[in-house]
Amino acid sequence: MRFTAFETRRVVLPLVSPFTTSFGTQVHREALLVRAIGTEGEGWGECAAIVDPVYSSEYTAGAQDIMRRYLIPRLLSAGDISAQDVARVLTGVVGHRMAKSALEMAVLDAELRASGVSFARYLGATAERVPSGVSVGIMDTLDQLVEAVGDYLRAGYQRIKIKIKPGWDVEPVRVLRETFGDDFGLQVDANTAYTLGDAPLLRRLDPYHLTLIEQPLGEEDIRQHAELAKLVQTPICLDESIVSAEAAADAISLGATAVINVKPGRVGGYLEARRIHDLCRAFGVPVWCGGMLETGIGRAANAALAALPGFTLPGDISASDRFYRTDITEPFVLEDGYIRVPTGAGLGVTPIPEVLADVTVDTELIRA
Ligand code: OSB
Ligand code: MG
């Protein structure tokens, strides 16, 4: 269909508790939503960028700016397009994958709503529900960590991922195994906080049979991850480094990653995410769906993606109430440790107008 306008909308949602990673603490989620307005209907997208450029180079205000100045004008003048054309239309703009992903998602949602097809069916999902994992931030004390993890395990989460950084790594893992035993999936995420010289330290995680260690080294250190993989037993899983299917293929063939965290925003969209899934499946590399503290909009799309057959590990797709007291869509809830994949047309969820109005800090309509 032809798109006549795009609305960008900045929303701020308070988090139920602060979320600390090796790159900082978030107390609320400032997210950028996109509404694509086309000749046959509308669709929603959510940008994965966070408020500051500390996870990747993208950040909320920057994403809004690149959309306004460069990306949306290209889509508005592209004529009749489908979601499969978006990457090509935007290809002249270098980088800004999270911004591009949000726009492609909104176009895809509009298209699928118009044709009555769900994201899950379009992407090739084979599951009706996905196993739910939870990402647990760095805490002030080990007692706080044990309490939080105990609550999540009792709620039914199927695996725990804890954030680590130098000074908060082996000891929290040891305490969690000592307290809760060996019978639950446990993994760690360093968000690039280590160097190859830390291999002896990271090797001390080996006895705790973690499912994986996520992105221990820098985004560009793919070769060094391959070196690290020879020095530690815990499987390495790349997040930040995997910015495209090409990067995924390189990292796999270099032996830098045994598992991949697929985040649609980081790789430029759900279509590229599906290509990475297909590639990993062909290589026999397990994948799981990462998260960026999505609202119900992004969470719905992630659940659909995670229902593809190669997603064999629980992802960071937790219930809405892990982050938000009030989600902007109907909330995703944990049912026996699973999140149900929406079946309605497009995303299958829509923002609740009153809630959306409450959390919106600005909107901008960009027309042809
Ligand atoms: O590295 O996976 C990450 C959140 C923000 C930025 C980076 C990451 C994360 C998470 C949260 O781990 C995952 C979630 O949304 O549940
Ligand atoms: Mg990560």
Nearest CA to ligand 1 atom 8: 292
Interval 269-279 mean pLDDT? 98
Rounded Cα distance between 101 and 107, Å, is 10
Interval 127-149 mean pLDDT? 98
Q: Which ligand is nearest to the CA of 212?
A: 2
Domains and CATH numbers, the chain: 3-116+352-367 (3.30.390.10), 121-340 (3.20.20.120)
The predicted structure's pLDDT at residue 66: 98
The predicted structure's pLDDT at residue 294: 98
Q: Quickly state the pLDDT bin for 263 (edges 50, 70, 90).
A: very high
The predicted structure's pLDDT at residue 202: 98
Q: Running DSSP on this structure, what letter comes out for residue 94?
A: -
pLDDT tens digits for range 65-97 = 999 999 999 999 999 999 999 999 999 999 999
As for ligand 1, residues whose beta carbon falls within 6 Å of it are: 55, 135, 189, 191, 239, 290-293, 316, 318
Q: Quickly state the pLDDT bin for 199 (edges 50, 70, 90).
A: very high
For the CA of 163, the nearest atom of ligand 1? 12
Closest alpha carbon to 323 in 334, 313, 335:
334
178-203 b/e (C-beta count within 10 Å ≥ 16 → b): eeeeeebbbbbbbbbbbebebbeebe
Indicate the top mutation candidate among 19, 187, 292 to test ligand 1's pocket, ranked by most ligand atoms within 8 A of CB: 292
The predicted structure's pLDDT at residue 74: 98
Q: What spacing in Å lies between the alpha carbon of 163 and ligand 2's midpoint?
A: 8
Using DSSP bridges, classify how beta strands 24-38 and 3-21 pair: parallel, antiparallel or unpaired. Answer: antiparallel
CB proximity list for 196: less than 8 A, separation 6 or greater: 217, 221, 224, 227, 228
Q: What spacing in Å lies between the alpha carbon of 291 and ligand 1's midpoint?
A: 5
Closest alpha carbon to 247 in 231, 229, 263:
263
For the CA of 291, the nearest atom of ligand 1? 15
Nearest CA to ligand 1 atom 4: 292
Residues with catalytic annotation? 163, 263
Interval 127-131 mean pLDDT? 98
The predicted structure's pLDDT at residue 33: 98
CB proximity list for 31: less than 8 A, separation 6 or greater: 10, 11, 12, 13, 46, 47, 60, 293, 294, 295, 298
> What SS3 class is residue 86?
helix
Q: Strand runs (DSSP E) across 211-290, as ranges?
A: 213-214, 236-238, 259-262, 287-289
Q: Which ligand is nearest to the CA of 55?
A: 1
For the CA of 292, the nearest atom of ligand 1? 15
Mean pLDDT over the full length of the chain: 98
Q: Quickly state the pLDDT bin for 22 (edges 50, 70, 90).
A: very high
Q: What spacing in Å lies between the alpha carbon of 117 and ligand 2's midpoint?
A: 31
Q: Quickly state the pLDDT bin for 241 (edges 50, 70, 90).
A: very high
The predicted structure's pLDDT at residue 70: 98
- The span from the first CA to the last CA of the chain, in angstroms, equals 14
Q: Quickly state the pLDDT bin for 98 (edges 50, 70, 90).
A: very high
Q: What spacing in Å lies between the alpha carbon of 135 and ligand 1's midpoint?
A: 7
